[in-house]
Amino acid sequence: MNICLIGSMRHIDRIREIANALKQRGHRVILPIDTSEGRVFERTTAKREFMKHMFEKIKSCDSVLAVNDVPREGIEGYIGPNTFLQLGMAMALEKPMFVLKKWNHRLPYTEELDAMGIDVLNLRMP
Question: Is 8 in contact with 69 (CB distance < 8 Å)?
Answer: no
Where is average pLDDT lowest: 19-23, 24-28, 71-75, 108-112? 71-75
pLDDT, position 75: 92
What CATH number has the domain bearing residue 44? 3.40.50.450
More confident residue, 55 or 47: 55
Q: How many domains does the structure of the chain reveal?
A: 1
- Buried b / exposed e over 14-53, threshold 16 CB at 10 Å, is bbeebbeebeeeeeebbebebebeeeeeeeeebeeebeee
Name the average pLDDT for the chain. Answer: 90
Q: Is the pLDDT of residue 35 over 70?
A: no
pLDDT, position 37: 56
Q: Is residue 68 part of a domain?
A: yes
Q: How far apart are CA 92 and CA 104, in angstroms?
A: 23
Q: Is residue 125 part of a domain?
A: no
Question: Is 30 in contact with 60 (CB distance < 8 Å)?
Answer: yes
pLDDT, position 51: 85
Range of the domain at 101: 2-73+80-120
Q: Is residue 11 part of a domain?
A: yes
- Tens-place pLDDT, residues 53-110: 899 999 999 999 999 999 988 899 999 999 999 999 999 999 999 999 999 999 999 9
Q: Is residue 116 part of a domain?
A: yes
Q: How many CB atoms lie within 10 A of CB 78?
A: 23
